[in-house]
Amino acid sequence: MDSPAQHTPVLPDAVLEFVASGRPRIVVDCTVGLGGHTSLILERCPDAQVIALDADPGNLDLARQRCRPFGDRIRFVHANFSSLPEVLESLGESRVDVVFADLGLCSNQLADPSRGFSFEVDGPLDMRMDRRSGPTAEDLVNSLSAQQLEELLCVQSQERYSRRISRRICAARREGRLRSTVQLARLVESASGAGLTPRPDRIHPATRTFLALRAAVNRETESLGTLLDAVPSALVTGGRVVLISFHSTEDRVVKRDFRTRARSGVYRVLTKKPVVAVRDERLRNPRCRSAKLRAAVRSDLPL
């Protein structure tokens, strides 16, 4: 499992290009994770302070270790980024210069079988960012109807075999509760007619199912929408919002939000197309292969 010091943040050059421009005073890292991006920002911007949020209390502890050299220039808050307005109010901040978020999982979350995010090693069907509350993926796959599962897979991850998979899940759970990641991955494999070892140019057959369940467990789509609605009021004039997404559903939501607010004069979009990793970075850090960065600047027009 990666330590905080070994963790490599995605698209570091692009993040610094958009975040560090204009000498920001206060930056909100909505998903501090292991502290990789925050460390880079604090190094590049010696006068900046960071408000670091994360829904995973374990990662907050690891980020504190990594960012200890920066002392009181960083304030850590255990919160989902959908609570951005409440967090800023509690800290006595009305407006900030940058709102940044990396919407992907951290490498340590994927590598820990007990978290249930990956099917490469068997583990419980958990998938909660904050394991202290809320339903697990196991709860969902064993309680949702076939129609609800089909809709979840279709909407959250555009799974083409959503009907087959949902029916196979419902049939299997009549023989016993579904509990493990590998058990679910094999059900998806059989329903989709694909092998557990995909071709190099194809994703694993269970990838979209796990993505959809993770999004549902953590209310990712709703939380992203709430964050996007809150950002304009949180930014100073000329402030920037910089978001990294890892799958098409999230990227589409961000793209539409930026374009809609640009048409109304709230934003000026800085990225006509999403910034993606160059070949050398993809080779060094495979996690960045699907990363897409979009950025916008808050205009001087009223909301």
At 103-132, the pLDDT tens digits run 999 989 999 999 999 999 999 999 999 998
Q: Is the pLDDT of residue 246 over 60?
A: yes
The answer to whether the beta carbons of residues 76 and 66 sit under 8 Å apart is no
Domain 130-217: state its class. Answer: mainly alpha
Q: Where in the chain is the domain with CATH 1.10.150.170?
A: 130-217
How confident is the model over 133-148, as pLDDT tens digits?
889 999 999 999 999 9
Say what percent of the chain tops pLDDT 70: 94
pLDDT at 7: 66
pLDDT one-digit tens code per residue, 209-227: 999 999 999 999 999 999 9
Query: Residue 44: pLDDT above 50?
Result: yes
What's the predicted TM-score (pTM) here?
A: 0.91
C-alpha 276/C-alpha 282 separation (Å) is: 9
- What does the pLDDT average to over 156-167? 95
* 282 confidence band (pLDDT: 50, 70, 90): confident
Q: Quick one: average pLDDT of 5-28?
A: 89
pLDDT for res 266: 96
Q: What local confidence, expressed as pLDDT, does residue 201 receive? A: 44
Q: How far is CA 223 from CA 6, 124, 253, in A?
A: 29, 24, 12
Q: Quick check: 296 pLDDT over 90?
A: yes
Question: Average pLDDT of 273-280?
Answer: 90
Every domain range in the chain assigned CATH 3.40.50.150 = 12-108+220-298
Long-range contacts of 63-67 (CB under 8 A, 24+ apart): 63/4, 63/32, 63/33, 63/34, 63/35, 63/38, 64/35, 65/4, 65/35, 66/4, 66/5, 66/7, 66/34, 66/35, 66/36, 66/39, 67/35, 67/38, 67/39, 67/42
Domain 12-108+220-298 belongs to what architecture? 3-Layer(aba) Sandwich (3.40)
